[in-house]
A and B are shown apart, each in its own frame.
Chain A
Amino acid sequence: MRTVADGRLGRRKRADLFFRVLAAASAVAVLLSLVLILGTILWKSVPALSLSMLTQTPRGGFYLGKEGGILNAILGSLYLAAGATVLAFLLSLPIALYLNIYKGRASKAAAWTRFFLDVLWGVPSIVYGVFGFIVMLAIGLRASLLAGILTVALLELPIMCRAIDEVMRLVPPELKEASASLGATRFETAMRVMVRQSAPGILTGVLLAFGRGIGDAASVLFTAGFTDRVPTSLADPTATLPLAIFFQLGTPFPEVRQRAYASAAVLTLIILLISLAGRAIGRKATRHVVK
């Protein structure tokens, strides 16, 4: 005999099945997109990929060159993203510590700071690029590695800051109390306890920001310039991988367009290597974390 409860159970089971299929389909769609993206880049870059791509600067014409490599953009991007990440970290860590040690949980100032950082996170990178450009004009700075670093640091700051802030918010208040009860100052608690306890999360935040910084084209478009040479000082303009891809792909020459895919492959590989290295270091960093 079919009861009302049976009918209800049947409906619940169908709903359960429906969501299971939906979840699996979503996961497959994401994985498939990733494979397709990586596959396309690698496949199209094969004709252009060679050792000289990685070890030489372009030859045979201003960035449309068919000869030589993209060493200018590889090193340029690494210099720029590393500089910007260091700079953003030097600002993010104190901000996150301020929010979590010096300000109470219910602090209005902390809530507003978090709100503004979230707004900054959402600002499109081209806006950072334009802002950087205006500031450059105002202080008479040329398009250069330095201007690029400053602009990208600004772009990375809210990402890194909020990522570090979120892990620090998870640190139990009892841990801060334990340190305080031993007579530690807030600064000592911050540097010796908070930073260690949130080390894995800090690392994740830094890598996230680095990945965003090295892959961004719009913020460096007006600020870092573009050149065939590897920069030798902060005042030199610098090439970057995202812009190399942009310019190479925009040419009518198939040989140069192939090189755009090679640039994209290199950029993807750099990000992949950085996150793998980050995971390895991250495992070490979790050693002392208190559950």
Chain B
Amino acid sequence: MNGETPISIRDLSVFYGDLQALKDVNLDIPAKKITVVIGPSGCGKTTLLKSLNRLLDAAEGVRIRGQVVLDGEDIYAARTEVTSVRKKMGLLSQKPQVLPMSIHDNVAYGPRIHGLGSKKDLDRRVEHYLKMAGLWEEVKGRLREPASVLSVGQQQRLCLARGLAVEPEILLGDEPTSALDPQSSQNVERRLMELKKEYTVVVVTHILRQARRLADYLAFLYMGELVEHGPAAEVFAAPRDPRTRAYLTGEIS
């Protein structure tokens, strides 16, 4: 660990109406590593992830308490600009959600709204990020076609390219392979392993084997509570909490 923490979560609680989805979560996410959040369905994994880029704000009846400190700034502070928070993070959702426009325009969407680079620059930018997402070779001849013609696996890599194109510091993945076939999943995992050299990656998953493959740092959430977290090797080898042990051995799921 190099001691750098781009995201510090402090006493974070999230309520949906009367239901408390996260209970006083404290977590420092290490830079340029893959942090994997594991836990059974409904344990608050997705809520935790969405609280990082303030996507929860959009939902109805949500109350958030606590802090998420990103680059030394609390993203829930009144003066923080929500769009600039989100620009710092690329998000891969469970089901890839392409925008209703061409393959090219999907990747160009972020740079266009944020005014990154010149118009001439845009085509090079699109090519660059499609290559980073490992999709360029498959789509280079049909960039003007609608993104919806791509297969689901390709769509997820397009979403990755689209997220990278806004020049984020952090990549968030919300069970990013759950809708994909095994080969596409492998492809996306390989991309994430490569991207962690330059980006801080946070991935939520309920697939333990995927967590073992990807994780440098592991966090186990159970019923809204952050039960245990630490370097992945340590947690996998010797979980301290009985609940973590039970989850890792498949007794609770």
Contact = CB atoms under 8 A, between A and B. Distances in A.
B83 A175 contact: no
Contact of B101 (A181, A184, A288, A291): A288
Contact of B97 (A178, A185, A188, A192): A178
29 contacts: A104-B58, A105-B60, A106-B60, A173-B58, A176-B58, A178-B93, A180-B86, A181-B89, A181-B91, A182-B90, A182-B110, A182-B113, A182-B162, A183-B86, A183-B114, A184-B113, A185-B83, A188-B113, A192-B101, A193-B100, A196-B99, A196-B100, A288-B147, A288-B148, A289-B146, A290-B99, A290-B100, A290-B147, A291-B148
Contacts of A185: 83, 113
Interface residues of B, number: 31
Contacts of A172: 97
B102 interface: yes
Contacts of B61: 106
A289 B53 CA distance: 26
A287 B146 contact: yes
Contacts of A181: 53, 55, 86, 89-91, 163
A174 interface: yes
B64 to A, nearest CB: 16
Instruction: Specify which of B60, B99, B101, B163 lies most central, judged by the most chain A CB atoms within 10 Å of its CB.
Output: B99
A204 interface: no
Give me the 9 closest cross-chain CB pairs, A-B, nearest first: A183-B87, A181-B91, A178-B97, A197-B100, A183-B86, A196-B100, A182-B110, A183-B83, A288-B100
A192 B93 contact: no
A183 B113 contact: yes
Interface of B: 53, 55, 58, 60-61, 83-84, 86-87, 89-91, 93, 95, 97-102, 109-110, 113-114, 146-148, 159, 162-163, 166
Contacts of A275: none
Interface of A: 104-106, 172-185, 188, 192-193, 196-197, 287-291
B97 to A, nearest CB: 4
Contacts of B83: 183-185
Nearest to B146: A288
A183 B97 contact: no
Contacts of B58: 104, 173, 176-177, 180
A189 to B, nearest CB: 9
Nearest to A185: B83
B89 A178 contact: no
A109 to B, nearest CB: 13
A179 B100 CA distance: 11
A182 B86 contact: yes
A289 B84 CA distance: 28
Contacts of A289: 100, 146, 148
A172 B97 CA distance: 9
Contacts of A104: 58, 60
B171 to A, nearest CB: 11
Contacts of A174: 93, 95, 97
Contact of A177 (B55, B84, B89, B100): B55
Contacts of B163: 181-182
Contacts of B147: 288, 290
Given A180-B58, A183-B114, A175 B89 contact: no
Given A184-B113, A287-B146, A289-B148, A175 B99 contact: yes
Nearest to B83: A183
A182 B53 CA distance: 10
Nearest to A289: B100
B93 A177 contact: yes
A188 B163 CA distance: 16
B77 to A, nearest CB: 18
Nearest to A175: B97
Given A288-B102, A289-B148, A290-B147, A182 B109 contact: yes
B203 to A, nearest CB: 15
Contacts of A193: 99-100
A288 B148 CA distance: 7
Given A174-B93, A179-B99, A185-B113, 5 more contacts: A106-B61, A177-B91, A288-B100, A288-B146, A290-B98
B18 to A, nearest CB: 15
Contacts of A182: 86-87, 90, 109-110, 113, 162-163, 166
Contacts of A197: 100
A178 B86 contact: no
B179 to A, nearest CB: 11
Nearest to B172: A181
